[in-house]
């Protein structure tokens, strides 16, 4: 019984791994209010996702002023913070996303980032 | 000493304070932490920063009706709950009753990438949300410096921290911020420059393998505060800070006297024993009977129906009871009836402060009239001389304010010299008895002096201290031309004196007898002479009578002759005059 379940889990995991490249990137951007810094971060994030992931991404923008509980649940300290929820591992990119090199390292887009710039 | 509690009332009115509820800390700070302002608590690892902060919150929520937010950067809330549960705080229950919010801020350096300018608004929002969700009045940030490890760009951090403290003030919450102690400054990242109202430094020092915690209020803007380092301890019911001078020298005194348990010793102390509520020091070299004297005092007190607390640092209670039985002191009935309680610990078991706190606690719980500490010198092993004196001062202050009579035994190490530490300690004591070994003639004997007894006339005499199976007795030591004699030599001297006295008596009797005999002889002689004289007298009388009779016969014969011869009366007269001479010649 146990062995069956275990083998089932393994299969699931293998399927998930195989499916990963095709799955959408899941990103959340936490900002604090409609400041210039927030606006800049949102624009940069949209731009990056469009250019790097094509249409294959999910970007959620959260204003911590509006939803402080989400800030707590997302363990947000600094704003703006772009959290890459998927693929794992979780990455937190703090700042207004103007440092492109660090941004690409953070999102594991190293090589492709270089080709753009 | 000028900073006495009554005087600190006026600044407290001017400067609103937030009571911590931590015993002792509110006394030092004159009422608590500055209300509505941040306080920095810094110290090394494991010195109790988090516990102090947690107690501040818990007491605020439970005793002062002020809910609080605990924002922890290092521990998760589950860990925190377990940690403070060791102080008996039910954090989980307080969280459920919405008295406390635990906000865990997790920062993983390895998943963070800095991509440009940022601020800590996320943290502000969370803190604000947590405060508003329960209407918190108190906030703890433990340990804010974790931010420095977790976030890059110190310049931004510093600016944001400055803003955070400003924000906390504007929010009107009383905040406690903990920080790790730095090498050259109070905190590792110089947080003290942002928190300018109150800084408390915690310290955990190890001296001779025994650790003692200390607390110092480094800074308290706008208020008087004790600047000394105060020992504190973390016990099962929270932190307690022990201010040495919190009580001061203004306790009331009692005039009653209580027996020492040794009648002769009472006599030495003005006939009535110790003052009630006084402190007594009993010093002596090993084996001079300190514990026995102390036990005697304890027993006498218990006999009067007073509760006695006996702190033993050398022997177990059962051992003391057994040993005292051998000198006729029965302690177990009093232990059974609950009048006598023993509290035995090894001096090395804790630091001095812990000992003191445990003693305070025991005294507060048992409420004795008499406390015995046997011996106080053992505690020197648990701290330095200075600390011990500080501790004894506090203990005596406390006992005196509670009107408890206390007896401390103190071990002197050989020789005659009174050690420095004892002299230091003795100044705190009202009475000082010295037990000493007296060696001579191949034996050791114990003697007792009363060195001082404040407020009573006391004997200046040395007494021999005799321990037998019937208990303790004090005997006058023999003081004569040969010095002070004790023990066998005292007995020998006494025997010698008795013998001498006996000799004298016998001699006198002999002389008396001699005289008596002489008198008898003389009287006999007198009687002999008298009888001789009487015999002579009788003889003389007889002779006189004989002569008279002969004369009468002669005269009658002559008269007869004359009558016959018809002689006249003249011849008779002449014959009458010469007659006796003749007769004497005839004899």
Which CATH number do you get for residue A56?
3.40.30.10
Q: Do both B213 and B273 map to the same domain?
A: no
Confidence of residue B571 (pLDDT cuts 50, 70, 90): low
The boundaries of the domain holding residue A85 are: 26-116
Angle B452-B456-B459 from CA coordinates, rounded to 5°: 60
Contacts of B116 in chain A (CB under 8 A): 41, 95-99
- In a 13 Å sphere around the CA of B365, the CA atoms on its Cβ side amount to 9
- pLDDT tens sequence across B85-139: 887 888 888 888 888 898 898 888 888 888 888 889 999 999 999 999 999 899 9
Q: Are B252 and B435 in contact (CB under 8 A)?
A: no
Query: Total structural domains in chain A?
Result: 1
Q: What are phi and psi of B187, to 5 degrees?
A: -125, 160
Interface size A-B, in CB pairs within 8 Å, comes to 103
Last residue of a domain, which of B476, B508, B531? B476
Q: Is A93 on the interface with B (CB under 8 A)?
A: yes
| Dihedral angle sign, alpha carbons of residues B489, B495, B501, B504 | negative
Among chain A residues, CA nearest to B114: A94
The pLDDT value recorded for residue B512 is 94
Q: What is the pTM of this model?
A: 0.65
Q: Do both B397 and B430 map to the same domain?
A: yes
Residue B514 has pLDDT above 90, yes or no: yes
Q: Do both B140 and B195 map to the same domain?
A: yes
Note whether residue A13 is domain-resident.
no
Q: Is B118 on the interface with A (CB under 8 A)?
A: yes
Q: Is A65 on the interface with B (CB under 8 A)?
A: yes
Note whether residue A16 is domain-resident.
no
Q: In this predicted structure, which of B158-167, B346-355, B376-385 has the lowest mean pLDDT?
A: B376-385
Q: B416 vs B541, which has greater pLDDT? A: B541
Q: Is B113 on the interface with A (CB under 8 A)?
A: yes
Spatial separation of the C-alpha atoms in residues B475 and B488, rounded to whole Å: 13
Give the residue among A33, A31, A77 at the shortest CA–CA distance from B103: A77
Spatial separation of the C-alpha atoms in residues B560 and A91, rounded to whole Å: 194
Among chain B residues, CA nearest to A102: B115
Beta bridge partners of B275: B257
The pLDDT value recorded for residue B542 is 92
The boundaries of the domain holding residue B139 are: 30-108+120-241
Q: In this predicted structure, which of A31-45, B272-286, B328-342, B569-583 has the lowest mean pLDDT?
A: B569-583
Note whether residue B2 is domain-resident.
no
Note whether residue B430 is domain-resident.
yes
Confidence of residue B371 (pLDDT cuts 50, 70, 90): very high
**Chain A nearest CA to B126, separation (Å):** 6
Q: What percent of chain B has pLDDT over 90?
A: 18
Q: Do A94 and B112 touch (CB under 8 A)?
A: yes
Give the residue-averaged pLDDT of B150-160. 87
Note whether residue B5 is domain-resident.
no
The pLDDT value recorded for residue B91 is 85
Cis status of the peptide bond prior to A87, with omega within 30 of 0: yes
Q: Is A45 on the interface with B (CB under 8 A)?
A: no
Last residue of a domain, which of B427, B444, B476? B476
Q: Are B57 and B216 in contact (CB under 8 A)?
A: no
Q: Do A99 and B105 touch (CB under 8 A)?
A: no
Q: Do both B208 and B312 map to the same domain?
A: no
Note whether residue A11 is domain-resident.
no
Q: Is B537 on the interface with A (CB under 8 A)?
A: no
Q: In this predicted structure, which of B96-110, B310-324, B410-424, B547-561 has the lowest mean pLDDT?
A: B410-424
Q: Do both B510 and B468 map to the same domain?
A: no
Q: Do both B410 and B523 map to the same domain?
A: no
**Chain A nearest CA to B135, separation (Å):** 16
Q: What are phi and psi of B372, to 5 degrees?
A: -120, 130
Q: Is A94 on the interface with B (CB under 8 A)?
A: yes
Q: Do B123 and A90 touch (CB under 8 A)?
A: no
Contacts of B111 in chain A (CB under 8 A): 89-92
Confidence of residue B231 (pLDDT cuts 50, 70, 90): confident
Give the residue-averaged pLDDT of B501-525. 93
CATH classification at residue B333? 3.40.50.300
Q: In this predicted structure, which of A4-13, A40-49, B219-228, B564-573 has the lowest mean pLDDT?
A: B564-573
Note whether residue B224 is domain-resident.
yes
Q: Do both B457 and B506 map to the same domain?
A: no
Residue B381 has pLDDT above 50, yes or no: yes
**Chain A nearest CA to B404, separation (Å):** 56
The pLDDT value recorded for residue B342 is 92
Query: Total structural domains in chain B?
Result: 3
Give the residue-averaged pLDDT of B385-399. 78
Q: Is A9 on the interface with B (CB under 8 A)?
A: no
Q: Do both B224 and B307 map to the same domain?
A: no
User: What is the residue-averaged pLDDT of chain B?
Assistant: 82
Helix (H) or strand (E) holding B528: helix B487-565
Q: Do both B328 and B459 map to the same domain?
A: yes
Confidence of residue B478 (pLDDT cuts 50, 70, 90): confident
Q: Do A32 and B122 touch (CB under 8 A)?
A: yes
Q: Do B117 and A98 touch (CB under 8 A)?
A: yes
Best residue in A64, A77, A92 for a mutation probing chain B (most B CBs within 10 Å): A77
Low-confidence ranges of chain A (pLDDT < 50): 1, 112-117
The pLDDT value recorded for residue B248 is 55
Spatial separation of the C-alpha atoms in residues B282 and B291, rounded to whole Å: 9
Q: Are B212 and B357 in contact (CB under 8 A)?
A: no
Note whether residue B423 is domain-resident.
yes
Q: In this predicted structure, which of B37-46, B193-202, B380-389, B425-434 has the lowest mean pLDDT?
A: B380-389
Q: What are phi and psi of B238, to 5 degrees?
A: 110, -170
Note whether residue A21 is domain-resident.
no
Spatial separation of the C-alpha atoms in residues A94 and B554, rounded to whole Å: 186
Give the residue among A71, A74, A52 at the shortest CA–CA distance from A63: A71
Q: Do A32 and B121 touch (CB under 8 A)?
A: yes
Q: Do A64 and B125 touch (CB under 8 A)?
A: yes
Which 3 state secondary structure label does DSSP give B453? strand
**Chain B nearest CA to A22, separation (Å):** 24
Give the residue among B276, B316, B322, B318 at the shortest CA–CA distance from B297: B276
């Amino acid at each position: 019984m146990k062995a069956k379940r275990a083998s089932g889990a393994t299969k699931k995991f293998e399927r998930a791994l195989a499916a990963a490249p095709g799955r959408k990137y899941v990103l959340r951007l936490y900002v604090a209010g409609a400041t210039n810094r927030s606006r800049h971060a949102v624009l940069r994030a949209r731009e990056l996702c469009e250019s790097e992931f094509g249409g294959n991404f999910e970007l959620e923008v959260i204003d911590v002023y509006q939803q402080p509980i989400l800030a707590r649940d997302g363990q947000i300290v600094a704003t703006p913070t772009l959290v890459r929820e998927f693929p794992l591992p979780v990455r937190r990119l703090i700042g207004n996303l103007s440092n492109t090199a660090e941004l690409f390292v953070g999102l594991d887009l190293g090589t492709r980032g270089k080709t753009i710039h | 000493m000028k900073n006495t509690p009554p005087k600190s009332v006026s600044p407290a009115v001017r400067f609103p304070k937030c009571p911590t509820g931590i015993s002792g800390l509110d006394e030092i700070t004159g009422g608590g932490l500055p209300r509505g302002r941040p306080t920095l608590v810094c110290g090394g690892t494991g010195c109790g920063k988090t516990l102090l902060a947690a107690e501040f919150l818990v007491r605020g929520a439970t005793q002062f009706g002020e809910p609080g937010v605990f924002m922890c950067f290092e521990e998760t809330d589950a860990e925190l709950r377990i940690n403070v549960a060791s102080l008996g705080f039910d954090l989980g229950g307080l969280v459920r009753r919405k008295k406390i919010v635990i906000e865990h801020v997790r920062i993983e350096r390895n998943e963070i990438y800095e991509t440009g300018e940022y601020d800590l608004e996320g943290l502000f929002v969370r803190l604000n949300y947590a405060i508003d969700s329960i209407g918190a009045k108190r906030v703890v940030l433990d340990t804010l410096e974790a931010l420095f490890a977790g976030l890059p760009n110190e310049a931004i951090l510093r600016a944001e921290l400055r803003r955070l403290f400003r924000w906390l003030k504007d929010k009107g919450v009383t905040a406690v911020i903990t920080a790790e102690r730095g090498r050259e400054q109070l905190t590792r990242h110089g947080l003290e420059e942002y928190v300018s109202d109150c800084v408390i430094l915690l310290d955990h020092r190890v001296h001779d393998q025994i650790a003692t915690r200390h607390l110092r209020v480094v800074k308290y803007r706008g208020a008087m505060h004790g600047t000394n380092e105060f020992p504190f301890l973390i016990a099962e019911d929270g932190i307690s800070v022990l201010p040495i001078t919190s009580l001061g020298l203004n306790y009331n005194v009692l005039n009653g006297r209580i027996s020492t348990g040794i009648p002769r010793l009472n006599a030495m102390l003005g006939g009535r024993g110790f003052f009630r509520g006084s402190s007594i020091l009993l010093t002596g070299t090993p084996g001079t009977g300190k514990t026995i004297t102390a036990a005697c005092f304890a027993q006498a007190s218990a006999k009067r129906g007073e509760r006695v607390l006996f702190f033993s640092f050398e022997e177990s209670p059962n051992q003391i009871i057994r040993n005292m039985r051998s000198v006729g002191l029965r302690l177990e009935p009093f232990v059974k009836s609950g009048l006598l309680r023993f509290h035995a610990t090894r001096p090395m078991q804790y630091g001095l402060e812990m000992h003191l706190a445990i003693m305070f606690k025991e005294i507060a719980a048992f409420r004795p009239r008499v406390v015995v500490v046997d011996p106080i010198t053992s505690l020197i092993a648990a701290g330095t001389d200075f600390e011990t004196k500080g501790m004894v001062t506090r203990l005596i202050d406390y006992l005196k304010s509670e009107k408890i009579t206390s007896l401390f035994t103190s071990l002197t190490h050989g020789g005659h010299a009174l050690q420095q530490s004892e002299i230091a300690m003795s100044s705190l004591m009202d009475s000082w008895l010295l037990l000493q070994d007296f060696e001579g003639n191949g034996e050791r004997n114990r003697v007792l002096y009363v060195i001082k007894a404040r407020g009573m006339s006391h004997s200046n005499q040395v007494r021999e201290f005799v321990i037998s199976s019937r208990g303790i007795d004090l005997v006058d030591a023999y003081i004569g031309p040969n010095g002070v004699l004790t023990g066998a030599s005292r007995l020998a001297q006494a025997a010698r004196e008795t013998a001498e006295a006996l000799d004298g008596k016998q001699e006198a009797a002999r002389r008396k007898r001699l005289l008596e005999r002489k008198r008898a002889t003389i009287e006999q002689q007198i009687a002999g002479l008298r009888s001789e004289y009487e015999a002579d007298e009788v003889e003389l009388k007889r002779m006189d009578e004989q002569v008279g009779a002969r004369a009468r016969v002669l005269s009658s014969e002559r008269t007869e002759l004359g009558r016959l011869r018809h002689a006249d009366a003249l011849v008779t007269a002449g014959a009458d005059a010469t007659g006796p001479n003749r007769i004497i010649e005839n004899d």
